Structure 1
């Protein structure tokens, strides 16, 4: 082997097995996403206790329940450009510190106003952490397994939410509702200490920013000892962009604007379905004649359906990812429509709800990997974060949509038909993105550019 040579960093990552160092990065990102899911769902677990302890009505909970959603959107929209300017590592570490500290402080809230403000700040941290974890993990993954690895990491979110539910059911009777928030804050704060000392900066980001070769070599050698012979590093981008551009300038530039808008529309509509059904399905099923216990049981099948995420990642790595996710949305829309037609047959209803959950949750959880593959390194942080940020407003819209349809006394089949249309729109958006040729492969770029020496 030559004593000095130039190394293409992505080629080196592609050609070596997934190292213990990369698994360490995966583990740290997975725990971040796990706690993101726990803290996002925490307010729902403690809501009944708030009603009784503070003697408030359900309507008074609306601001505190929605505060985190608005915070999530703000955090994502702000953190993306910061990530592309300052680096994945620093933004991710600070965001974990922020949502950990604010969740911990929430346990000492004296009234609903304080809790609402702290939940908003918690949401900002959560909204900043998720896209940066996705971006960092995607940039440490080989091309042929990127979607699978990112989707596997994303499974931490529903696991965190589900684990939080079981834990809260045990903790609240023994230690009170504040203990859930104390745990939800203490774990991220401890994790942030680990991130300060162990979390590396993205290699692709360092190459794109012209970081000295010695720093890049130090990180890359933990993946492959061969990197010690390198004196310069280059990187093949899957799509070309103007040198020096970054963040929003890339996301909104002419080659990317249509694809960006289609990703936003798709994720927005997916969350219209998710939040519209998660928040309202128990009520709708109860109004349709099911007992409260049976309505809750059937509705719980919907968020449990995220099991297909890893399989979808495998398919995305093997076939055209836009078409794979579009197909999941299309079949998901059919399944949501079928839920509205299955009333009166409890067996068929449970099957329809579970299948709808599998398809919709799988498609939605696969979107961050799709966005990460679409943008170049200089704009990836902003691209992923803005898709997630804009999409959060779909969650708010979904809840209001179903509430308004119920107020207008639209029948159950009609409500599920309207919600299913959102899935069809998501499918069409991805097909438009694909048809306009807004994705290229690394082979489409003729040559790499030396970005670090």
Structure 2
């Protein structure tokens, strides 16, 4: 008679192997290049103003083009990944965004740049949720939040590295070279993923794929495991309805309100992140800051996402909803102080921007792990990707909102106070989720 092996129990009982670390590194690099390519347009924006002789308000459609693509790519990719597999969609998305990032270097006007950035965004949007989902399905329960949050830190680290990279590369070689390098590096990664990245064992089990495929992968995690003749199942500790399609599950009576709260949380968080990343270099230039300092200080804001490592450690031990709500409240306070700090000297500005970045990015990068924990394997990719995709419209809203605030000629203090409000909304959403679902 065949034995039944619970895949999640197998992962919980075995040490985190070198094979799983390889999956982690690949997913981290996907997040890194996703962050670098997403933020690239904000870093080259001041150069586009000069080279193409355009007004700041004309940049809004270009800055938002990739964000529309990000939203659509994320929403569409989740159901595709739940149907065809995480690896296939993830690898294709990396190759798509890297190739069109390179193509963006040859754009001759705003229209061409907007179209190319939109297509780039489709790949960027599909990459992150599937990287989160794939890695989640190779993590033990007691380390999942820390591992996934650490991986997701690749996004702000990539965005920060892009700022430092751009501040050196653009003055010497032009904005086109920056886009080329931002595309060529992940293109190499995409090719390697075809050969190195495994399929999700949980996905294979849910889809009733041959047990030998699953056994072969799990043997890479523990070569000494006795898996001969075993049948494999996913963790059934959550309420699941495997006969339903993933979209119906995410929108069903049990998960519906939690899904809406997660969407609102990610939406409001990205209003702040993209307002800062896309517009801070332009705002600081208007404040008569030396041109090379704007991208560097903006990079410090993105670099604050490294705090998500500590948040992941705490989420594995304490209540994730309450923790992220607290971080979001502190974000609101610190973002509101950035306009004031502009008049207090460079040291104070750097301190406030860095603290705001740590709070905001730590909260934001913790949300995918929270969503991955909330949804079962049958609809996890759809649930996570829809949160990231629908939330991306917050990035669009943040970009246009900040552009409008600048067009109204509001002072810096007022602009940053207004941008602090979404973080308060995020805190409320997660406290409501805690009240309804508990620590899930």
Fold-level similarity (TM above 0.5): yes
Structure 1 portions without partners, runs of 5+: 441-453
SS in 1 for 2:12: helix
Distance between the aligned counterparts of 1:319 and 1:263, measured in 2? Answer: 19
Q: Is the 8 A contact 2:46 2:282 kept in 1?
A: no
Q: Match of 1:122?
A: 120
Q: CA deviation at 1:4?
A: 5.5
SS in 1 for 2:190: helix
Question: For residues 51 and 273 of structure 1, do their structure 2 counterparts lie closer, same or farther at Cα, with a shift above 3 Å needed?
Answer: closer
Structure 2 portions without partners, runs of 5+: none
Aligned residues: 436
Q: CA deviation at 1:406?
A: 4.8
User: Could you tell me which of 63, 66, 85 is aligned with 1:65?
Assistant: 63
Q: CA deviation at 1:282?
A: 5.5
Deviation track 1:293-342 (CA, whole Å, cap 9, x = no partner) reads 39837655433322311000000011111111111112222223344565
Q: Match of 1:209?
A: 207
Distance between the aligned counterparts of 1:352 and 1:187, measured in 2? Answer: 32
Q: Match of 1:433?
A: 433
**Which of 402-411 and 321-330 deviates more?**
402-411
Q: Is the 8 A contact 1:70 1:120 kept in 2?
A: yes
Q: Match of 1:185?
A: 183
Q: Match of 2:322?
A: 323
Distance between the aligned counterparts of 1:311 and 1:33, measured in 2? Answer: 18
* Largest Rg, 1 or 2: 1
Q: Is the 8 A contact 1:7 1:227 kept in 2?
A: no
Q: Is the 8 A contact 1:68 1:119 kept in 2?
A: yes
Deviation track 1:403-447 (CA, whole Å, cap 9, x = no partner) reads 44455565554443333221111111011111112655xxxxxxx
Q: CA deviation at 1:227?
A: 4.6
Give me the TM-score of the superposition, normalised by structure 1: 0.88
Q: Is the 8 A contact 1:372 1:380 kept in 2?
A: yes
| Residue 197 (str. 1) matches residue 195 (str. 2) | yes
Q: Match of 2:245?
A: 246
Distance between the aligned counterparts of 2:171 and 2:298, measured in 1? Answer: 25
**Which of 413-422 and 148-157 deviates more?**
413-422
User: Could you tell me which of 273, 290, 293 is aligned with 1:293?
Assistant: 290
Question: For residues 169 and 355 of structure 1, do their structure 2 counterparts lie closer, same or farther at Cα, with a shift above 3 Å needed?
Answer: closer
Q: Match of 2:312?
A: 313
Please show how residues 336-415 of structure 1 align to structure 2 within 5 Å: 336-339=335-338, 344-346=343-345, 348-408=348-408, 412-415=412-415
Q: CA deviation at 1:189?
A: 2.4
Distance between the aligned counterparts of 2:238 and 2:270, measured in 1? Answer: 28
Distance between the aligned counterparts of 2:233 and 2:320, measured in 1? Answer: 26
Distance between the aligned counterparts of 2:106 and 2:335, measured in 1? Answer: 41
Q: Match of 1:93?
A: 91
Deviation track 1:95-137 (CA, whole Å, cap 9, x = no partner) reads 1111122122223334432222111100000100111001101
Q: Match of 1:146?
A: 144
Q: Is the 8 A contact 2:156 2:361 kept in 1?
A: no
Q: CA deviation at 1:233?
A: 1.1
Distance between the aligned counterparts of 2:374 and 2:338, measured in 1? Answer: 33
Please show how residues 29-178 of structure 1 align to structure 2 within 5 Å: 29-172=27-170, 175-178=173-176
Q: CA deviation at 1:230?
A: 4.5
User: Could you tell me which of 15, 21, 24 is aligned with 1:23?
Assistant: 21
Give me the TM-score of the superposition, normalised by structure 2: 0.91
Question: For residues 266 and 119 of structure 1, do their structure 2 counterparts lie closer, same or farther at Cα, with a shift above 3 Å needed?
Answer: same
SS in 2 for 1:253: coil
Q: Is the 8 A contact 1:104 1:186 kept in 2?
A: yes
**Which of 340-349 and 210-219 deviates more?**
340-349
Q: Match of 1:334?
A: 333
Distance between the aligned counterparts of 1:189 and 1:282, measured in 2? Answer: 28
Distance between the aligned counterparts of 1:332 and 1:15, measured in 2? Answer: 38
Question: For residues 227 and 410 of structure 1, do their structure 2 counterparts lie closer, same or farther at Cα, with a shift above 3 Å needed?
Answer: farther
Distance between the aligned counterparts of 1:108 and 1:402, measured in 2? Answer: 28
Distance between the aligned counterparts of 2:125 and 2:297, measured in 1? Answer: 29
Question: For residues 171 and 425 of structure 1, do their structure 2 counterparts lie closer, same or farther at Cα, with a shift above 3 Å needed?
Answer: closer
SS in 2 for 1:36: helix
Q: CA deviation at 1:205?
A: 1.1
Distance between the aligned counterparts of 1:50 and 1:350, measured in 2? Answer: 26
Q: Is the 8 A contact 1:282 1:292 kept in 2?
A: no
Question: For residues 424 and 135 of structure 1, do their structure 2 counterparts lie closer, same or farther at Cα, with a shift above 3 Å needed?
Answer: same
Q: CA deviation at 1:44?
A: 2.9
SS in 2 for 1:318: coil
Please report the RMSD computed on the Cα atoms of aligned residues, expressed in angstroms: 2.5
Distance between the aligned counterparts of 1:323 and 1:220, measured in 2? Answer: 35
Distance between the aligned counterparts of 1:413 and 1:108, measured in 2? Answer: 38
**Which of 22-31 and 155-164 deviates more?**
155-164
Q: CA deviation at 1:251?
A: 0.9
Q: CA deviation at 1:60?
A: 3.8
Distance between the aligned counterparts of 1:340 and 1:96, measured in 2? Answer: 37
